[in-house]
Amino acid sequence: MKIFVSYRREDTGPLVQRLCSRLDEAFGARNVFYDERSVSTGGDFRGAVVGAIVTSDVILAVIGPAWAAVDRRGRSRLFDEDDPVRLELGMSIRRNIIPLLVDGTRMPAARTLPDVLRELPGRSGMPVYSDRRFDACVNDLVQRLGGPVAGANRSLGSRAPRATSSWLSFEGHWQTRDGGEAEILQEGDRLEMSGWASNGASYSGRGQIQGEFAVVDFTNSFGLRGRLVMRLVENGGYINGQVQSMMGVSQFDMMRRT
């Protein structure tokens, strides 16, 4: 998992340092990009940003009260084509963006944003607080990104999927066609699955192998409970699956990423 963090220093700089320290622990420092650390003094900012965004799995847009700060003309800096935040998110808008709304900041209205960022308010955001709630918020984010949470029980879910895992198993990182992501761990016939859907809902569940199928009972962050029935296809490169819940039955497929 490679993560790009977009923020405005004068808006949320101290919080982003704390956030990235936790992300480093969960995913490794080389997989977390933010400008204060990842762009060298005198380095090519635009080139570094473009390269990091292209290779990132998710972009975190950290939005605080001064994110849309105005310039001397009284106009939001986001309308300046050379504004770093506009540059970063403009290049990211077609990718997986998670807005992080700091200390009760509201999602900006589309009408207040330049055209290149008008889709941002349609993304499902997450709250982050700088007070005593910070750790819980970051734990929720790390879980949503498929990483380990500090203090978690040492069980099936306490490790990341093994890079050497056989494609004959379900273990690995997976991505749905609409941009959702999932992480599956497998020990023998036991399975643990967690991830987040394209609508912003996170989910987790446990199950087991039943013949050629994996059956996982899950709960998502909206309170929906259901069952996933999955089957490996195309030599383990894809999963064909079915979601069964009170909302009905729907089909999905996932591509193996690692």
Residue 151, pLDDT above cutoff 60: no
- How far does CA 133 lie from the centroid of its chain? 20
The token pair at 190 is 């036991």
Span 103-131, mean pLDDT?
92
Give per-residue burial for 2-29: e unless 16+ CB within 10 Å, then b: ebbbbbbeebbeebbeebbebbeebbee
Residue 45, pLDDT above cutoff 60: no
Using DSSP's 3-state secondary structure scheme, residue 78 falls into helix
- Is residue 185 within 8 Å of 192, Cβ to Cβ? yes
CA torsion, ordered 224, 226, 229, 232, to nearest 10 deg:
30
Residue 143's pLDDT band (boundaries 50, 70, 90)? Answer: confident
Query: What are 229-254's pLDDT values in tens digits?
Result: 999 998 888 999 999 998 889 999 99
Span of 19-23, 56-60, 62-66 with lowest mean pLDDT: 56-60
What's the first-to-final CA gap in the chain, in angstroms?
10
Residue 156's pLDDT band (boundaries 50, 70, 90)? Answer: low
Query: What are 18-30's pLDDT values in tens digits?
Result: 999 999 888 888 8
Bridge-based pairing state of the strands 238-245 and 202-210:
unpaired
Query: What are 188-225's pLDDT values in tens digits?
Result: 889 999 988 877 788 999 999 998 899 999 998 888 89
> Cα separation of 49 and 6, whole Å?
10
Percent of the chain past pLDDT 90, that is, above it, reads: 47
> Cα separation of 217 and 207, whole Å?
6
Name the helix (H) or strand (E) containing 37.
helix 35-38
Cα dihedral 51, 52, 58, 62 sign = negative
Q: Please tell me the pTM assigned to this model.
A: 0.59
Give me the residue label for tokens 């607080």. 129
Q: Which residue segments constitute the domains of the chain, with CATH numbers given?
A: 3-144 (3.40.50.10140), 156-256 (2.40.128.20)
Bridge-based pairing state of the strands 225-233 and 213-220:
antiparallel
> Cα separation of 113 and 118, whole Å?
6
Span of 34-48, 49-63, 156-170 with lowest mean pLDDT: 34-48
- By CB atoms closer than 10 A (0-12, 13-18, 19+), residue 153 is exposed
